[in-house]
Amino acid sequence: MEQTHLTPLYISLKVAGISTLLVFIVGVCLAKLLSRRSFWGKGLLESLLLLPMVLPPTVVGFGLLILFGKNGWIGQWLASLNIQVVFSLLGAVIASAVVSFPLMYQSASTAFNSVDARYENVARTMGASEWRIFWTITLPLAWPGMLAGLVLTFARALGEFGATLMLAGYIPGKTDTLPVAIYFAVESGQTEKASFWVIIIVSLGLSATLWLNWWSNRTRRLTGR
């Protein structure tokens, strides 16, 4: 009994962990690539990247179904590789990743742009390669802002419901993340079970925001800004 109680938490952490890792890598690379660069259509591209933040999750879920469904563009191709997205853990990961991506991209983008270009320029005149400048100047200076984005992304991924339900469905022991499990527990009148998970997810969310608050205060103090 104890095991089934904790299964949704375990699945949620797994889904949010994997999706946050993916989103972090892709978000940071894209943000770095697009920062301090202007080209035709950049505004449109950035709007598209941020779109999942303003759309209802059901709309995102619908779009993902079209893409990843059996007859979808990507779904068909994945099916030929024997990979199924719909009604699978992978589906939950993709839904969480897409919905939480804008938070990471936005944070990383702001963080990169807030790094004073003079630091990078002075490093260039000192002979440092672009690669070295990124690792020793840009990334460390942008890190506090990015870490905040990382925590928000994880929290958002953990709380994802609509798109997850549409793409991954509700398969107990397989795709029942905490938010989905809460919904179906309430639906079937299992208030006690739902309350237990609600407490868990509220504690996780609260720890994330508390830590974020503490961290940003500490960073401000340490850098003397």
Partner 1 sequence: MFSLNITKNRKQFQLDVCFSALAEIVVLFGPSGSGKTTILNCIAGLEQPDSGEIRLDQQLFFADRHKPLPPQQRKVGYLFQDYALFPHMNVEKNIRYGLPRKDADLRSLLQVLRIEHLLASYPWQISGGEKQRVALARALATEPKLLLLDEPFSALDSETRKQCQDELLRYQQIWNIPFIIVTHDMDEAKKLGDTLIFLENGRIAAIEKKALAHE
* Residues near partner 1, by CB under 8 A: 116, 118-119, 121-129, 136-137, 140-141, 223-224
Nearer to partner 1, 130 or 187 (CB): 130
Nearer to partner 1, 41 or 224 (CB): 224
Nearer to partner 1, 73 or 119 (CB): 119
Q: Minimum distance from CB of 221 to partner 1 (Å)?
A: 11
Q: Count of CB atoms within 10 A of residue 169's CB?
A: 16
Q: Minimum distance from CB of 123 to partner 1 (Å)?
A: 7
Q: Tell me the Ramachandran region of residue 95: left when phi exceeds 0, alpha when psi lies from -120 to 50, beta otherwise.
A: alpha
Nearer to partner 1, 47 or 129 (CB): 129
Nearer to partner 1, 10 or 119 (CB): 119
Q: Minimum distance from CB of 153 to partner 1 (Å)?
A: 24
Q: 3-state class of 16 per DSSP?
A: helix
Q: 208-216: list long-range contacts, CB under 8 Å, 24+ apart.
A: 208/151, 208/152, 208/154, 208/155, 209/155, 211/151, 212/148, 212/151, 212/152, 215/144, 215/147, 215/148, 216/144, 216/148
Q: Minimum distance from CB of 217 to partner 1 (Å)?
A: 17
Indicate the helix (H) or strand (E) that contains 30. helix 2-34
174 CB contacts (<8 Å, ≥6 apart)? Answer: 11, 87, 88, 89
What number of H helices and E strands is found in the chain?
11, 0
Closest residue by Cα to residue 94 from 73, 63, 48: 63
Q: Minimum distance from CB of 35 to partner 1 (Å)?
A: 17
Q: Minimum distance from CB of 206 to partner 1 (Å)?
A: 30
**Burial class for 53, CB neighbours closer than 10 Å (0-12, 13-18, 19+):** middle
Nearer to partner 1, 85 or 133 (CB): 133
